[in-house]
Structure 1
Amino acid sequence: MQIEVGSVINELRIKQNLTREELTKDICEPNALSDYERSITSPTIDELALFADKLKVDLPYFFTPKMNRFIIT
Structure 2
Amino acid sequence: MTDPTDNGGRPASLGFAPVTTEPDFLHATRTSYDTLAVDYEARARGELDAKPMERALLGLFAEQVSAAPRRCPCWTWAAARAG
TM-score by length of 2: 0.27
Q: Which has the higher contact order (CA 8 A, sep 6+)?
A: 1
Bigger Cα Rg = 2
